[in-house]
Chain A
Amino acid sequence: MAASLPTAIPWTVLIVLVPLIGAVAVTFLRAPAQQRAARWTAFGASLLALLLAVILAIGFTPAGPGVQYLVSSPWLPALGVSLSFGVTGISLVMVLLTTVLAATVIAAEWRMPVPRGTTQGYLALLLSLEALVLGVFLARDLFVFYVLFEAMLLPVYFLIGRFGGSRRGFAAVKFLVYSLVGGLAMLAALIGLFVESKAAFGRPTFDMTALADMTMSTPTERLIWWGFFLAFAIKAPLVPLHTWLPDAAAESTPGTATMLIGVLDKVGVFGMLVILLPLLPNASVFYAPMVVVLALIGILYGAVLAIGQGDMKRLFAYTSVSHFGFIVLGVFVFTGIAMNGAIFYMVAHGLSTAGLFLVAGYLMSQRGSASISAYGGVSQRAPLLAGLFLVMALSTLALPGLAGFIGEFLVLLGAFQRSVVVGVIATTGIVLAAIYMLWLVQRVMVGPLQPGVDRVREVTVWQAAAVGPLVALLLLLGFFPQTVLSLVEPAAQTTLAGVPAGTAATPSLFGLTGGEQP
């Protein structure tokens, strides 16, 4: 590790450009006969992006400065906006996750027929989504962050609205309207920051590092906090702003759902980590008890709803509502262990959710139904498919030895350090997770063979090869979590150091993270 890369190459920009160029290239391979070439182009671009992400990880010095490989050029000097991209420990991990999942999705859906529109269009949208999300993770200018954050909606909107299920139009617009409301709130907050920065520095700036040093009056900070929080809470999604997700997930293709829940939703938490906490620390501490309570409600509420679903994709969506509860809890209890746990959790959740959507997606494409009651006994016909699904399910319910456990345990432990009651309530989530996952496995995979399931075929070698790496990663991260944690920890510590709540030294029974906490 920590071999320095040549700085003449703008690595952080390159990694965004590669999938974007891939997307453009794919649109030129428009003829039906070029479909194969388009797939290889898309897959190649996603692999190249993954390779660049790995190179970036090798070149990253965890103990070095917070932002590395910073590339910056002025864009709108009048507004203090510059096109600047750089990588931190947190964004590096998110970039790795994004590139892994994008390549996995393209490989796993190799043979999947696109219901409407063209394969080329689908791939171009997936790649442009990847590029935009990577841009969000790497942006070091708040304005650029905002523009990309909003632009991200477009490919998702079309991915759902054109390639989705029977209620795709409704789901796409619901997603869009929700997101636009959040975006509007963020825009207002952005303008607020603009005004404040002008007053504080004499000239406006959107540079995230500079803004972290700015102090504001308490009411202003809290007002601005709400703008960003709404946008991120909708994206994350935090209860009660979650109701777009089940519709969107249910109407998406498995690949879109993977990118949506595995990657896009993480942008919400990422925003909390890189904007709410560093830029608005006092307001974050002030509102932390509220966020923690919402997160706790999300954990339990999402899990109970998952138990009650009859549709597989909606079930996965609600499990994610529960998991995002854990993740947001990990961010807002302000302990080092929980924050590391939350970031690790995002990676583990991305990998296992991708596996669930892709494997179940393959199953659903054969049976033609997402309804759980249409299944039963699948493992008799397709044992490998059932086995892959089980590993993903086990990581989802945080079985020790798989990645899901590390994230969840660290979040719970960190929460417990801060407040015994919060920790214990959140821990009941592990029982609920076992109920919704294993009941699903029982109804779909085992038991007597249901009519219609007999025509289900085993996953192909190609598909197994696409999803197999996810299994390997889940095991690897379960037994060697330091591979990710060593990248993340310094960045998490820096983030936490800027929050006045500090680390919890002594536990208290009820103490939520109020400002007076040591």
Chain B
Amino acid sequence: MTTTLLLLVLLAPALGAAVLLLGGRRTNAWGPLAAIGVMGAATAGALALFGAMLTRPAAERPVGVLLYEWLAVGDLRVPFGLYLDQLSMSFVLLITIVGTLIHVYSLGYMAHDPDRRLFFGYLNLFVAAMLLLVLADNYLLLYVGWEGVGLASYLLIGFYRRRASAATAAKKAFLINRVGDFGLSVAIMVMFTMIGAVTFSAVDAGIVAMPGWVPLVLGLLLLLAAAGKSAQFPLQAWLFDAMEGPTPVSALIHAATMVTAGVYLIVRSAAIYDLSETARTAVIVVGGISILFGAIVGSARDDIKKALAGSTMSQIGYMVLAAGLGPIGYVFAIFHLLTHGFFKANLFLGAGSVMHGMNDEVNMRRYGGLAWVMRLTFITFLIGYLAIIGVPPFAGFYSKDSIIEAALAHSWTAGIVAWLGAGLTAMYMTRMVMMTFLTKRRWQPDAHPHESPPVMIIPMALLALGSAVLGYLLVMNDAFEHWLEPVTGFVHEDPPLAMPIVYGITFGVVGLGVLIGVLANLHPAAEAPTRVNPLVRAARADLYGDAINEGLFMRPGQVLTAATVITDRRIVDGAVMAVADLSTGAGDQLRRVENGFVRSYSLALVAGAVIVLAALLLLRIA
């Protein structure tokens, strides 16, 4: 039964993708509905699996299914095996539920796109790959899903294929992710060479007996992979450009699910990180820098999607930081990942709804006063806003506050960074709400904003519901801690301050952030002010991430390429041609042949072959 359900969950979206991508124009009429249908089937399967899992005692919840032996060479044995435990179950539910809602939303959002069947095909492909990523029972199969989601992301970022910028952004995302993949590849090689296996269970069991450098090296390599996929410092630059993709893609792939795969990888490798303090510290540092980096960029960008992208980087920074805390943080990393999946998807779909009504305008300086013309969008967005800045009882409050407490229990630095991030989050999100929905109208003359159709509003409302209640539901009776503890382990540690003081400070910085956000954005200018301080200028340029990439890699790379091309032509081939000229006179031949003597030369060649053959035959007779 479990096997059948797992196959249903995995294969339904894969089948949808195959039909839509191979079916061509014939599928135009019913393709999008079929895509939603398979998502419905996958969700139903996921819920059935969840129900069955809940009926079993905690120790018996994980199930493994071996489908077939995928690779067997020498000592290498890699099964095509699936593994469903509480961690992957959480992801499967997030992917199928949020995925289905976003599929439905896309029905309205992409209604007028002539290529929408391709869009839905790619979305199905993404879901299938993402499910494989979280269901694989070994690192190599995870890698298949890992690159599969990268491919879907590549295709969907570049979906508006007439735009040159979309093509560039798609390639950039893939390339930066490839740098991360380098880490994952080498990590798998280290695992196999040292431990002799690549399945999670074997690595978890074998890592304990390894010398200390193995978990350290593996931890750092996996962190590199995670940083690429999850747009964490220093591999964050692609995420901002990825906003070239249609907004539902930004919501599903570049906010709720794919970009959190790095967090999944780290938590899945808990057994490795538990053994290396240094690797964990590196994870915390990367997460901490990303919290502030993303928040600073999010505070300065006027493009609503890029501001949200900064926010995503920052929120994933929280998850990564929590994962780096070890057993006191793994649970909260996944907790925040789930609530973030809902409220960030909610916010992105809200932004999409605004764009839909504003002729695809993304500049918040051209918005203003939309609360009164797009009421439902405003209300759902507001719920997402309250969730992300951490106002109780909305979802983000519980998950982010847990991380702040755990960070404080770890060290003052981590705690202060988490607090700072919370303040900045409140500030940039308030700015977004002010500039978009409140304040004076700054619309372009041709803008006629209108509320989106129900097919878009209903998914937004359901996500808003999740943003509102999910945190409370999961925190009730410490439900989520008990749920995930058997997989990741959980240790509770009290922060060095009394709880009321922690809450007080958190609410203080959030309140301050909101206050600054309101006061600084009472009268936004329709044009971005040009005379701004260096920090704002840097933040608008994504803290010069692109400039650094260009200066450090792209330009030297171009010079190297040009120099290599010349070397190959002039020196390597040049030497060969010179030798030919000198020793055999072939140069002369070449020159003559170029003048049209192919025929005579080939005749000579045939004659030679005939002579050789004749000689051989003669030998035989003799």
Contacts and interface: CB of A to CB of B under 8 A. Distances in A.
Q: Are A and B co-members of a single complex?
A: yes
B179 interface: yes
B603 to A, nearest CB: 11
A434 B175 contact: yes
Interface in B160-209: 161-164, 166-168, 170-171, 174-175, 178-179, 181-182, 185-186, 188-190, 192-194
Interface string B556-593: 01001110110010001100100010001010011001
Contact of B161 (A379, A430, A438): A379
Given A173-B589, A308-B564, A427 B185 contact: yes
Interface stretch (B44-52, B69-77, B277-285): B69-77
A482 interface: yes
B151 A399 contact: yes
Interface stretch (B94-102, B139-147, B386-394, B521-529): B139-147
A387 B561 CA distance: 28
A410 B73 contact: yes
B182 A431 contact: yes
B211 interface: no
B619 interface: yes
A79 interface: yes
A34 B161 CA distance: 45
Most buried by B among A177, A377, A384: A177
Contacts of A301: 564, 568
Given A177-B580, A434-B175, A507-B193, A336 B561 contact: no
B69 A173 contact: no
B55 interface: no
A99 interface: no
A439 B620 contact: no
Contact of B167 (A174, A424, A446): A446
Nearest to A413: B189
Interface in B574-622: 576, 580, 584, 586, 589-590, 593-594, 596-598, 601-602, 605-606, 609, 616, 619-620, 622
A161 B602 contact: yes
B574 to A, nearest CB: 9
Nearest to A341: B73
Contacts of A412: 185, 189
A503 B146 contact: no
Contacts of A335: 74
Most buried by B among A79, A243, A424: A243
A191 interface: no
B141 to A, nearest CB: 9
A387 B609 CA distance: 45
Contacts of A172: 593, 598
B178 A446 contact: no
A11 B118 CA distance: 47
Contacts of A369: none
A176 B598 CA distance: 12
B169 to A, nearest CB: 10
Nearest to A400: B144
A86 B74 CA distance: 25
A9 interface: no
Given A158-B602, A170-B593, A304 B147 contact: no
Given A430-B178, A507-B193, A481 B76 contact: no
Contacts of A243: 568, 572-573, 576
B158 A446 contact: yes
B524 to A, nearest CB: 34
A154 interface: yes
B326 interface: no
A76 B616 CA distance: 8
B193 A417 contact: yes
Contacts of B21: 387
B287 interface: no
Interface in B115-158: 118, 140, 143-144, 146-148, 151, 154, 158
Interface in B483-529: none
Contact of A446 (B74, B161, B175): B161
Nearest to A177: B586
Given A417-B193, A448-B162, A400 B146 contact: yes
Given A161-B602, A485-B73, A401 B609 contact: no
A442 B186 contact: no
A427 B598 contact: no
Contacts of A362: none
A304 B564 contact: yes
B154 to A, nearest CB: 8
Given A399-B151, A446-B158, A431 B178 contact: yes
Nearest to B160: A446
A438 B175 contact: yes
B549 to A, nearest CB: 13
A340 interface: yes
Interface in A441-474: 441-442, 446-449
Interface string A488-518: 0100000000000001000100000000000
B175 A482 contact: no
A431 B179 contact: yes
Interface in A380-405: 380, 383-384, 387, 394, 399-401, 405
B73 A489 contact: yes
Nearest to A160: B598
Contacts of B580: 177
Contacts of A406: 71
Contacts of A190: none
A48 interface: no
B584 to A, nearest CB: 7
A172 B590 CA distance: 10
Given A308-B565, A400-B144, A431-B179, A173 B601 contact: yes
B148 to A, nearest CB: 6
A135 to B, nearest CB: 15
A151 B597 CA distance: 22
Contacts of B73: 336-337, 340-341, 410, 485, 489
B178 A170 contact: no
Contacts of B594: 167, 169-170
A336 B74 contact: yes
A270 interface: no
A76 B620 contact: yes
A305 interface: yes
Nearest to A321: B568
Contacts of A401: 144, 147-148
A18 B435 CA distance: 76
Interface in A44-100: 75-76, 78-79
A435 interface: yes
Given A170-B593, A399-B147, A435-B175, A308 B561 contact: yes
Nearest to A398: B147
B573 A485 contact: no
B167 A442 contact: yes
Interface string B11-28: 000000000010010000
Contacts of A377: 161-162
Given A75-B620, A79-B619, A336-B74, 11 more contacts: A161-B598, A170-B590, A170-B593, A243-B568, A307-B561, A377-B161, A401-B148, A434-B174, A438-B154, A482-B71, A503-B74
Interface of A: 75-76, 78-79, 151, 154, 157-158, 161-162, 167-170, 172-174, 176-178, 239-240, 243, 301, 304-305, 307-309, 335-337, 340-341, 377, 379-380, 383-384, 387, 394, 399-401, 405-406, 409-410, 412-413, 416-417, 423-424, 427-428, 430-431, 434-435, 438-439, 441-442, 446-449, 479-482, 485, 489, 503, 507
26 contacts: A76-B619, A78-B619, A154-B609, A158-B602, A161-B602, A240-B572, A243-B572, A243-B573, A305-B568, A308-B564, A337-B73, A416-B186, A416-B193, A427-B189, A428-B182, A431-B178, A431-B182, A438-B154, A438-B175, A442-B171, A446-B166, A448-B164, A449-B162, A479-B80, A480-B68, A489-B74
Query: Lowest 5 CB-CB distances: which A-B pairs, in order?
Result: A243-B573, A336-B74, A308-B561, A308-B565, A400-B144
